[in-house]
Structure 1
Amino acid sequence: MGCAQSGAKAATSDGKSGGVTAVDKQQAKEENKKYEETMSFLSQVPLFMRLPKDQHPILAAACVNQPFKAGQTIITQGETGREFFIIQSGEAEVSVNDGGSQKKVATLKQGDYFGENALLRNEPRSATIKAVSEIKTLKITQEKFQQLGLNEKIQFANRKAVGAGGKRQLVVKPPSDKTATERQLMETALKKNENIQTMVELDEVRVKQIIDIAWKETVPSGKEIIAQGDLAADYFYICQSGKFEIFVSDKNDSDRKLVQTVVSGGSFGELALLYLVPRAATVVAKEDSVVWVIDRKNFKDILMKVSDEKIQEYVKYLNRVEILSSLLAAEKQQVAKALTEKKFSKNEVIIQQGDPGTTFYILFEGEVSVSIDGDEKARLQASEERGTAQYFGERALLNDEPRAATVRVVSKDAKALALDKEAFDLLLGPLEDIMARKGEATAKAVAPPAGEAPAPSGRDPNRPKILMTDLQKVGLLGAGGFGAVELWEHKHSGETYAMKCISKGFIVKTGMQDSVITEKNILFMTNSDFIIRLHETYNSKQSIYFLMEPALGGELYSMYQRKGFYGSEKHAKFYSAGVLCAFDHLHERHIIYRDLKPENLLLNEKGHLKVTDMGLAKFVIGKTYTTCGTPDYFAPEVIASTGHNHAVDWWMLGVLIFEFMTGSAPFEAPYPMQIYAKVLKGINAVKFPPQLSPQCVEIVKAICQKEPADRLPMLTGGSKNIKTHSWYKGFNWDKFTEFTLEAPFIPKVKSKKDLANFSVHPDEMPRFIEYVDDGTGWDKDFATC
């Protein structure tokens, strides 16, 4: 009652209320409207979509009005950016320096924005933006953004890895007959598809082979031939007749946009030829149409035929090695696939007299000197062009006896194929046993499959079991499309663990049964303080589970973004050193990792690095041909499908160092095909920011050589070449490996149950695909206890 009376007394006949005029009310109303519009603007910016909704009002309030006159430069290419802008009214033009002259590339209007990355890190502006007319902008500075702690609250989306499709059965139809006109149409379509040309070199022979395996299908008007988000992305299409429309939808499918029309001679779906990735668009037949279909498996097989020719060449070399004469033809094929190419420089010693012998070499390019006690006894010459080869060190395959001579390169450089005794024994067993069986009628079966080392399996039986019934859930650490990682606590000991749960329906739909089995085996077979440990696996009706060591310091990717570590050599050296140690441990066990990126690197409570997620790792001797990984980190040989070995891991380390130092990957681009085009141009085409030290530029370029054998850790000396590089000068490797070197950043971890360093965006919450047991028993070994 008292409040009502007070209000009545305050009212006056001139329309004022407590001294507030109608004009004041209107002004307040307009200001509130502008404030809401600002929040609406900000909610459309991808960076701020990752900011919790309760922080949007704080962000909007921190924006200030900033007008610019017509002709005024807002930002200049090359300058360090520390401000973000949203255009409220007016128009601006975007231009880039192209060979000394400014080239206009875009126009910005109301609602457009630029400079969002400047809020997180100092990076050079990639273009110049100038006001065309008088414009009004909203601006927020990096200083204000970080002062409000907004950089600490952004939830960063992880870059997704792509796989090869695994065991999933493709429907492959017999090739259809083709007329000369149809063959010409397909040839033209393949050659004008820029994305395919970026991925692989299609010579006339390959084009003919691809056309040979294609089959024809009719597509009625209105049929959806490709659905956006579909995991069954296995085919590439060439339009023979008719018309197709390509649509892209937003995340909620509420806004479907027509982005392209494909008619006769056009093609679509080419990413499916490279790897398994959900479809990026929907394709619908606009009218009755006819297409030619090419499946991924046959396409990849055609690409690998060149490698098969190389293998046969290697077999010819092996046929000349006398102590290998007892090998069966199939066994020589296995050995040929396991050979690793090495490159040597002039005066480099390949074999040193007196050293233990563990590696056998086939010289196929260059000249070497063979000397005993300092006296030259012979020179060996080989030429790739003439098909001549020499071999030495073959007795290393029998035993570890000291080298009888020194072999030194005397030509400008030399190339050789190498095979160590351990790899040979893993493939075929000890050579002395094979030689002993010479002349016997029974032949030994060849295992494992081409290029792969035998995959050990199972947990350590001596380790105490951890029962799932003794665990209770604490909370969510992370999530992906079809799985989640949760923190669980042991009811009795109080120890905490990270529990990774994966939908079995998703595994089967994507054919990844072998991959998850390999992931389990690899984790059980690693024992490094730089790699997350696996304690148990469990099995339920719908899911499989990995019980792992927790790393509660958080994900390195998010930490770099929030704390602004980009550009710090101290941090980059410390974290890249951890990756190097993890790789040494894996490579010693013939494991290729294949999915390095900051998102897969965790910190423990002491700030020490842990490599996680072995989903794409594989036991390999020699080469493997699966195209998988994260596109920003793809090596050239992965894109070209020419086969890869552990050299791809070192390539990724070079990319990682570049990202640590600059804030972005060296070949970063909006679309995968643009990334691949940059990768294939090579590291020398990448523009290095001027603030990077010469030593940093040098080590990245030395690691990211296009030819795998030329990469710094692939040269004689291995990973020690990185450790002794000038960029690491002053870095104490002994203290680092003993964990007595202080970490550059110690995360705040209050207890074993602290989830504060992890956050999950709603978009990342897992979905599960119902699993119906197929009776194969692929999952039986996940019930370790």
Structure 2
Amino acid sequence: MATVQTNPSGHTGGDESKLNDNKNTISLLKSILSNKPIDGSDITTLDDATHELKRIRQLMEQYNHHHTAAPTSSSAAAAAKTKPTETPVQVNADKDQHGATHEPVVDDSTEYAFGQSTRQRRTAVLEKQHIKDYVKNSIPKQPHVRELILNAIKTNLLFQQNNKDELSELVDVFEPVHFNQKDMVFQQGDSGHDACYVVEQGQLSVYVSHNGGPYHMMGTYHGGKLFGEWALVYGSPHLATVVCDVDCKLWRIKRSWYRGVVGQHRQKLIETLTKKFLPKVFLPRNKEKIYFKNLFNPTQMVTLAGLTKQISFQEGDFIIRESEKGDTFYMIQKGVVDLFIKAMKDVPITALDGGKYFGERSLLQDDVRQATLRAQTDVTCFLLTREDVNRVIGSLEEILEHGFPPKRLRMSTIQRDEKVQYELYDLELFGKLGSGAFGEVRAAKAKQTEKYYALEMKSKSFIVTNGQEDAVMNEYSILRELDHPFIVRLHCAMQDEKYIYFLADIHHDLIDIMDQKGSFSEDCTRFYSASVLLAFQAMHSNSIVYRDLKPESLALDDRGYCIINDLGLAKKCEGHLYTFCGNPDYLAPEVIRGTGYNWGVDYWGLGVLIYELYTGTAPFESYDPTGTAKKILKGIVNFPDKVTGPMKDLIKALLTKDQTRRLGVLKGGTEDVMKHRFYTGFDWEGLLNMQIRAPFELQPVTYYKPLETPDSQEDSAMPVVNWNPVFGE
């Protein structure tokens, strides 16, 4: 639902803005050079050297421009007292692989000063889910070509979390493409490109034009090089032009193939584990066999499957040895494992093949291995560790003894007014408040009570043309299911031959307040993030993932309480979801990579939100969505000095790249986040029952501008659509 804008104003920085730019330039320069050797021994390719030197020169040019400008007396005095404001912090980042991305010309150095209100209203992206309709088409390749493609992708940032089988399947679908000398593979500024390439034969040059000037060659691609991989994430405009120096043979993979292969592989893996392997595992308890299929519900089985990792052993490798202690449980996916005991010396007493398992006692406590297991052939196993299970599910010993502890759900005692039920003729329509995903939002006044509401008008033509009927009905169902003081309240749905109408309470946009202030205090940030947490607890307890957190999705009522205001991307989640959607600044790594996700994406988004509310910018903000995606996958966050230890620790715990280790996804759920020291002493019950004072109280809006054109003129061009859904209770 869109909301009322309360006099948004742009933030102007003046000389203070220049000072902030200087401080950020110095800090960014430090960030670029942090943890790097003075002798430059980390530079391994011309691409690396060109890219780093270009970034440094641009930053220094920016610094010199502001530093040499004549400052006012106030800005000069401020500069004399000011220290650099950022400290680079690594947030669970993978080890850097120099030269892995092979992007010699892309400039991702554009940064934003903390607290500068230069933002535009951001909208979510929603891409068609590829795994349902995708049909894999394997292209035959010579072994040396498969090896060339595999070596090109396996160390790349985008592919680093893909397992061995996934990488092999991705190599399967690369197709050959031929270009002649002087052919252009793609041009700087072109958008909509959806393919990534690996060079088999030939050489290509990379050219960049700055601000419409002449093109300069920035580097070359040759045999074994990967380029254009970020087109597998977004169709953003290209930052360079790539031209063939000679006739070239390339191999390419398209975005829908990449997402289809990865999504289907992960989906099949989860299905294999939850239906074939995990159900038949049992744990010994008082001479009984407690089978997983009887101990865990379907959602918990999917969670267990998500904790499972794959590991490969070569023929002759020892997997476990007799008498050693272990905390790892193994299930054989493929291959044969010999089992030995010391009493029989080198003669195996049995052989275990696919579907068999061993080491299950280690899930309960440290297990002294009773036998040695050795790979008779090449073997691939699924493994679970006790530490992972205890962290996310809980202690299996305690669960077997006492059962699963009940999940806490905080309930509000507020008595809310009854929902209203109106027809269109009961309402007087006013001017436009904003835009929704499928149309616009207008103010509407009930003729009987003269109370104002927000009326979202969803175009039936747009919905049907884009195949979004299920999405609209899903949003309606979720809005009707959730009844929480910090989630937008849908009163009723109506329709005519051209529109679907959702009638909801009308509120003020939080982003308008943020535009005026630039950023919020720590207390304000704590208050608003706590409201989001309580809303998340209600959603997640109903197996609903939100997926669209950002300041633009939050609203304030007249008393200043924070409300999640747009549930267009919310969805029921009993296992894993694979749809690529959300705001680019807030996407979790697992969404970008297409490996499947659950409600953990909401806690990643919360970490981004806390950072943005307090500093004024998102932590991974960049020149375009592609640059943002790179930063998200690297997981490096620069914290201003003003960020306190508790806030920094909370953000880092929420921005954990491994979703199975992310705060909020662990066994304590939302309560784990609420118990973090950042919220020490916070009155959760007072907030839930709206008994504590909000940071800002807002004046109710009593006037809305009239319609700019009569309804009959405005809607006459809208086509009539024969789609009439039933809106029940």
Matched residues in 1 for 2:580 and 2:31: separation?
35
Q: Is the 8 A contact 1:243 1:289 kept in 2?
A: yes
The question of whether the paired residues in 1 share the 8 Å contact of 2:116 and 2:518 is answered with: no
Q: Secondary structure at the match of 2:664?
A: helix
For the pair 1:559 / 2:513, whether they are aligned, the reply is yes
Name the counterpart of 2:555: 602
Please give the residue correspondences for 1:663-702 in structure 2 after superposition, counting only pairs within 5 Å. 663-682=616-635, 685-702=636-653
How far has the Cα of 1:484 moved from its partner?
2.5
User: Aligned-pair distance for 1:504?
Assistant: 4.8
Measure, in 1, the Cα distance between the counterparts of 2:207 and 2:726: 41
Residue identity in the other structure for 2:433: L
**Corresponding position of 2:452:** 496
Q: What is the CA–CA distance in structure 2 between the aligned matches of 1:269 and 1:565, rounded to whole Å?
A: 36
* Pairing partner for 1:299 from 248, 255, 258: 258
Alignment of 1:500-539 (within 5 A): 500-504=456-460, 506-507=462-463, 511-539=467-495
Matched, 1:316 2:277: yes
1:415 alignment partner, SS class:
helix
* Distance in 1 between residues matched to 2:388 and 2:134, nearest whole Å: 48
Partner of 2:93: none
Q: How does 1:195-344 map to 2 (within 5 A)?
A: 197-198=157-158, 200-202=160-162, 205-215=165-175, 236=196, 270-271=229-230, 273-274=232-233, 279-281=236-238, 294-304=253-263, 305-306=265-266, 308-309=268-269, 311-314=271-274, 315-321=276-282, 336-337=301-302, 339=304
**Alpha-carbon displacement from aligned partner over 1:536-576 (angstroms, at most 9, x marks no partner):** 3344555543322211x22x22312312443x122011111
Aligned to 2:390: 415
Secondary structure at 1:626 match in 2: coil
Residues 245-278 of structure 1 deviation map (CA, whole Å, 9 limit, x = unaligned): 999999xxx989989999887777645534xx55
Alignment of 1:384 with 2:349, yes or no, is no
SS at 2:582's partner residue? Answer: coil
Please tell me whether Structure 1 or Structure 2 has the larger radius of gyration of its CA atoms: 1
Cα 1:80/1:581, change in 2 over 3 Å: farther
Distance change in 2, residues 1:180/1:534 (3 Å): same
Aligned length: 566
C-alpha spacing 1:166/1:538, structure 2 compared with 1 (3 Å): farther
Gaps of at least 5 residues in structure 2 are 1-6, 39-51, 78-114, 283-288, 309-324, 332-357, 365-384, 396-417, 707-713
Amino acid in the other structure paired with 1:485: V
Q: Which residue, 704, 725, 729 being the options, matches 1:781?
A: 725
SS at match of 2:613: helix
SS at match of 2:477: helix
Indicate how the Cα distance of structure 1 residues 168 and 701 shifts in structure 2: closer, same or farther if over 3 A, else same. closer
State the alpha-carbon separation in 1 of the partners of residues 445 and 207 from structure 2.
46
User: Aligned in 2, Cα 1:226/1:267: closer, same or farther, shift over 3 Å?
Assistant: farther
- 1:476 partnered with 2:435: no
- Report how far residue 493 of structure 1 moved: 2.8
Deviation at 1:745, TM superposition (A): 0.8
Change (3 A) 1:534 1:270: farther
Q: CA deviation at 1:697?
A: 2.1
- 1:577, CA displacement in angstroms? 1.1
The reply to whether residue 77 of structure 1 matches residue 52 of structure 2 is no
CA separation in 2, counterparts of 1:493 and 1:342?
54
User: CA shift at 1:591, angstroms?
Assistant: 0.3
Aligned-partner Cα distance in 2 for 1:202–1:342: 15
Deviation at 1:489, TM superposition (A): 2.0
* Residues in 2 aligned to 1:767 and 1:563: alpha-carbon distance in whole angstroms: 38
- Name the CA shift for 1:334/1:656 in 2 (closer, same or farther; >3 Å): closer
- How far apart are the structure 1 equivalents of 2:658 and 2:16? 52
Aligned counterparts of 2:194 and 2:540: Cα–Cα separation in 1 = 32
Q: Choose from 417, 423, 444 the match for 1:467.
A: 423
TM superposition score normalised by structure 1: 0.58
- What is the CA distance between 1:696 and its match in structure 2? 1.8
The answer to whether structure 1 residue 721 and structure 2 residue 672 are counterparts is yes
| Cα distance between partner residues in 2 of 1:302 and 1:523 | 33
Tell which has more relative contact order, 1 or 2 (C-alpha 8 A, sep 6+).
2
Distance in 1 separating the partners of 2:599 and 2:123:
21
Shift in Å, 1:738: 1.1
Amino acid at match of 1:299: Y
Correspondence for 2:605 among 638, 647, 652: 652
User: Structure 1: which amino acid aligns with 2:261?
Assistant: I
Q: Could you say which residue in structure 2 is the equivalent of 1:377?
A: none
Report if aligned partners of 1:602, 1:612 keep a CA contact under 8 Å in 2: yes
Please give the alpha-carbon distance, in whole angstroms, between the structure 1 residues aligned to 2:134 and 2:152: 23
- Judge conservation of contact 1:340–1:622 (CA < 8 Å) in 2: no
CA distance change for structure 1 residues 63 and 113 in 2, over 3 Å: closer, same or farther?
A: farther
SS at structure 1 position matched to 2:444: strand
The question of whether the paired residues in 1 share the 8 Å contact of 2:491 and 2:503 is answered with yes
Name the counterpart of 2:123.
160
Change in Cα spacing, 1:382 to 1:313, as seen in structure 2 (3 Å) is farther
Distance 1:563 1:749, change over 3 A: farther
Q: Does 1:740 align with 2:675?
A: no
For residues 636 and 769 of structure 1, do their structure 2 counterparts lie closer, same or farther at Cα, with a shift above 3 Å needed?
Answer: farther
| Consecutive unaligned residues in structure 1, runs of 5 or more | 1-49, 82-92, 115-127, 144-151, 344-379, 394-409, 421-461, 756-765
Contact 2:158 2:229 in 1 (8 A): no
Amino acid at match of 1:580: L
Aligned to 1:707: 658
Within 2, Cα distance between the matches of 1:411 and 1:169? Answer: 34
CA contact (8 A) 2:188 2:238 kept: yes
* 1:610-625 map, 5 Å: 610-625=563-578
Partner of 1:458: none
Q: What is the deviation of 1:241? A: 8.5
Q: Specify whether residues 541 and 153 from structure 1 end up closer, same or farther in structure 2 by C-alpha distance, changes over 3 A only.
A: farther
CA drift of 1:656 comes to 1.6
- Residues 248 and 485 from structure 1, CA distance in 2 versus in 1: closer, same or farther, beyond 3 angstroms? farther
Does structure 1 retain, via aligned residues, the 8 Å contact 2:609–2:618? yes
Indicate the RMSD between aligned Cα atoms, in angstroms: 5.7
Q: % of aligned pairs identical?
A: 26
Q: Tell me the amino acid that sits aligned with residue 548 of structure 2.
A: D
Distance 1:784 1:752, change over 3 A: farther
Q: How does 1:436-447 map to 2 (within 5 A)?
A: none
C-alpha change, 1:156 and 1:676, in structure 2 (3 Å) is closer
1:742 deviates by: 0.8
Counterparts of 1:336 and 1:768, CA distance in 2: 53
TM-score by length of 2: 0.61
Contact 1:623/1:645 (<8 A) preserved: yes
- Confirm or deny: 8 A CA contact 1:341 1:417 kept in the other structure: no
In structure 1, C-alpha distance between the alignment counterparts of 2:163 and 2:387, rounded to whole Å: 32
Checking the alignment, whether the CA contact within 8 Å between 2:547 and 2:601 is kept in structure 1 is yes
Q: In 2, distance between residues paired with 1:686 and 1:521?
A: 37
Which of 487, 499, 503 is the matching residue for 1:547? 503
Amino acid of the structure 2 residue aligned with 1:501 = M
CA distance in 1, matches of 2:724, 2:230: 34
Q: Using the alignment, how far apart are the partners of 2:391 and 2:253 within structure 1?
A: 37
CA distance in 1, matches of 2:444, 2:267: 47
Could you tell me which amino acid in structure 1 is paired with residue 550 of structure 2? K
Which amino acid in 2 is paired with 1:524? R
